[in-house]
Amino acid sequence: MVESNSEKAGNNCNLGGSGPVIWSYFAEFQPKAKRGCMLSFMAAFWTFGNLFVAGLAWLIIPTNIGFVTSIFTYNSWRIFLMVCSTPSFLVAFLLFYLPESPKFLLSKGKPDRAMAIFRGIFVTNNKKSPDLYPVAELDFDEKLMQELKEKRESLKGKYTKMLSNMAEHSKELFRRPILKFTIVSITINFTFHIGYYGLMMWFPELFSRFEEYSNTFPNQTAGVCVVTEYIVGKGNQDNAICSAHIPSAVFMESLISLASALPANLIAILGMDWLGRKFFLIFGTMTAGVCSAAMYFVYNSTQNLIATAVFSGAISTANAALDCLITEVFPTHLRATGVAVSMVAARMGGIIGNIVIATLLDQYCPAPTIIVAVLLIGGGLMSLFLPNTTRKELN
């Protein structure tokens, strides 16, 4: 049995804590007519990142680099993970050069700072003097100004204010009228990521299993459940001793399945502001759900590659739409918190998908693929309960 694979490594190299800030921050800088396109463009870099990590894994993991001592082994896997950590440090440094969100500053009663950033954006985009910026001042809601003044008077301590705001924002997510958005977004993210991580992270292992089965039984075809039963039985006979060797074909098939998401990302970028978030989310989850259910009818590595490639493209498109929709449904002062709560549900779904679904596939094949199909389709249809945010101003 294969101990691990590039796909798992790629997904395990990312952390979700920065996600809510990234999506909220980026969305607040975009005009409503292009916001879906730009958010989808940013989502496409998830695919580029996966491709880069899979290729990097192919270059590093099969080698014998590293060292071994009597108390510690620093092999190629650990070197690969160390390399994967480097971009995070680079991004953390670059963030110091980005301005604060003007929409956030306005919600905090700081129109002068927001205006300064607008002028800076004007200068960067047009290469003109800031004095030529056509906006003289910003309209500001007097009711909001009064509320901000009352909050400043009641909370004088900086950290006390921060903790109070965090608690208040969390509570507000579970009050009407935001409660509906919170429940639906949590449910969609939970069900979506059970399917995403449950199958996407299992596919490279399946590539390896088909490869091993075809080497043992040349010119014979077998379904996913037969192949899985053979590999699991062989592992039990060998006392579950795993091999660190990963065939080159597994890396190649993983790269092809990941690369299949690129055309889907391009379609999402071009059509997100035309067809809308709900269309791409429902179409993507339904297509991915059908691919999941169809895994039972896969009888060789080629069919498996086709199914995984279509699944990868569909789930990538749906993921871009989901990120757009969840980011846009929450008002500015709750956006990052709302997205964060949704992503907590997504991570919980990812944990269940990664551990439980993979275990069930070995023991109760093909029931988990049907479960994933139902969860993906059902979660996608729940987006119908959310408002249409396509080409609409952020609240």
Peptide bond into 366 cis (omega under 30): yes
Tokens of 173: 């997510």
- Could you give the CA distance from residue 280 to residue 285 in angstroms, rounded to a whole number? 8
Domains of the chain: 1-98+154-236+243-384 (1.20.1250.20)
Query: Which of 313, 308, 316 lies closest to 292 in space, CA to CA?
Result: 308
Query: Which of 377, 374, 371, 335 lies closest to 356 in space, CA to CA?
Result: 371
What is the pTM assigned to this prediction?
A: 0.75
- Could you give the CA distance from residue 81 to residue 53 in angstroms, rounded to a whole number? 10
Q: Is the Cβ–Cβ distance between 384 and 285 less than 8 Å?
A: no
pLDDT tens for the chain, residues 1 to 395? 333 333 443 444 344 566 777 888 888 888 888 898 999 998 888 888 888 888 888 888 878 787 777 787 788 888 888 888 888 888 888 888 888 888 778 777 788 888 999 899 899 888 888 888 888 877 766 666 666 666 555 555 665 666 666 677 678 888 888 899 999 999 999 999 988 887 777 777 777 788 788 878 887 777 778 888 887 777 655 554 555 556 666 677 778 878 888 999 999 999 999 999 999 999 999 999 998 888 888 887 788 788 888 998 999 999 999 989 998 998 887 888 888 888 889 889 888 888 887 778 778 887 888 888 999 999 999 999 998 888 887 76
Q: Is the Cβ–Cβ distance between 344 and 59 less than 8 Å?
A: no
Q: Is the Cβ–Cβ distance between 106 and 116 less than 8 Å?
A: no
- Could you give the CA distance from residue 323 to residue 36 in angstroms, rounded to a whole number? 10
Hey, which residues does 74 pair with through a beta bridge?
67
Q: Is the Cβ–Cβ distance between 50 and 315 less than 8 Å?
A: no
Residues 6+ apart with CB under 8 A from 380: 188, 192, 281, 282, 284, 285, 286, 289, 318
For 320-349, b where at least 16 C-beta lie within 10 A, e where not — what string? bbbbbbbbbbbebbbbbbbbbbbbebbbeb
- Could you give the CA distance from residue 346 to residue 315 in angstroms, rounded to a whole number? 14
Q: Is the Cβ–Cβ distance between 318 and 380 less than 8 Å?
A: yes
